[in-house]
């Protein structure tokens, strides 16, 4: 997908933040999953704010183990105030400097990849989340956890659309369970650390994200369609074709 759209998106996101962006001035952000699809968006926004908005730069500590990052993710940018570590967050990471914000976006969201790496998928959402919460607690930072709409599982028709209060219909066994159940545990960890340790924790539940910068090697439905169209190949629709999905740009 065309990089010019990605660049215009980054500018628009930064503009929409308005004065809230100034909260990042002089602060340190730890970003996990920094070379994934969403992580690269975050990196671009932070770089744009440093160059065009903030009177004091925002320092970004970027972590990724690169196992599903693809060609675009492995191309580490050389940006001022940006430090990259090839690190798997299932192991503790303790930076020398105090961190103000933690954005835990590490995860294996593509069914193609989480079926190939089920244990890694499980561990990053459980041990990775716990490690990042421990570091957040140490520094009295603010924590944001990227959960998933998959915590709702397979809602019955009465719960579609699904309200945030819906508790879900999730199978503990099957090829999706490593992702769905681990994200649910990740949310529970956020709750525990907030209730018992006073950690300021936010939870985000994205639905089937897509957009410029998504790679063919993601293998989810929209990049698959785009790749087939680009190659002039017919689109493959599996099952009855009556499935519905909520997509988030």
Q: What is the pLDDT of residues 55-102, one digit of tens each?
A: 999 999 999 999 998 888 899 999 999 999 999 999 999 999 999 999
What pLDDT is recorded for position 214?
85
Q: Say yes or no to pLDDT of 175 above 50.
A: yes
β-sheet with 142-146: strand ranges across: 82-86, 59-64, 28-32, 101-104, 142-146, 200-204
Residue 93: alpha-carbon gap to chain centroid = 18
The DSSP code for 35 is T
What pLDDT is recorded for position 222?
85
Share of the chain above pLDDT 90, in %: 77
SS3 171: coil
Distance CA 219, CA 117 (A): 14
Q: Average pLDDT of the chain?
A: 94
In terms of Cα–Cα distance, which of 56, 43, 58 is closest to 13? 43
| pTM, full prediction | 0.93
SS3 212: coil
Q: What residues act catalytically?
A: 179
Contacts for 237 with CB less than 8 Å, ≥ 6 apart: none
Q: What is the mean pLDDT of residues 10-24?
A: 96
Q: Say yes or no to pLDDT of 2 above 60.
A: no
Superfamily of domain 3-230: NAD(P)-binding Rossmann-like Domain (3.40.50.720)
What pLDDT is recorded for position 1?
44
Count of other CB atoms within 10 angstroms of residue 26: 13
Q: What is the mean pLDDT of residues 113-117?
A: 93
Q: Say yes or no to pLDDT of 47 above 90.
A: yes
Integer angstrom CA distances of residue 41 from 33, 37, 62, 106: 11, 7, 12, 13
Q: Say yes or no to pLDDT of 205 above 90.
A: yes
């Amino acid at each position: 997908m065309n990089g010019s759209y990605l660049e215009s998106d980054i500018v628009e996101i930064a503009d929409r933040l308005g004065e809230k962006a100034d909260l990042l001035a002089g602060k340190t952000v730890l970003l996990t999953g920094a070379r994934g699809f969403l992580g690269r968006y975050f990196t671009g926004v932070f770089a744009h704010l440093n160059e065009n908005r903030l009177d004091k730069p925002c320092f970004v500590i970027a972590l990724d183990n690169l196992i599903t990052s693809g060609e675009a993710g492995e191309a580490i940018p050389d940006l001022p105030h940006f430090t990259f570590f090839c690190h798997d967050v299932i192991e503790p990471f303790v930076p020398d400097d105090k961190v103000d914000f933690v954005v835990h976006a590490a995860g294996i969201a593509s069914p193609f990849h989480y079926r190939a790496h089920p244990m890694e998928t499980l561990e990053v959402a459980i041990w990775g989340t716990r490690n990042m919460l421990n570091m957040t607690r140490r520094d009295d930072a603010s924590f944001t956890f990227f959960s998933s709409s998959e915590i709702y599982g397979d809602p019955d028709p009465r719960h579609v659309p699904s309200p945030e209060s819906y508790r879900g219909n999730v199978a503990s066994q099957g090829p999706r369970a490593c992702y769905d159940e681990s994200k649910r545990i990740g949310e529970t960890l956020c709750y525990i650390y907030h209730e018992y340790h006073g950690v300021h924790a936010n939870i985000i539940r994205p639905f089937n994200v897509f957009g410029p910068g998504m790679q063919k090697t993601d293998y989810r439905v929209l990049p698959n369609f785009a790749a087939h169209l680009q190659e002039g190949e017919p689109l493959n629709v599996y099952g009855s074709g009556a499935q519905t999905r909520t997509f988030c740009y």
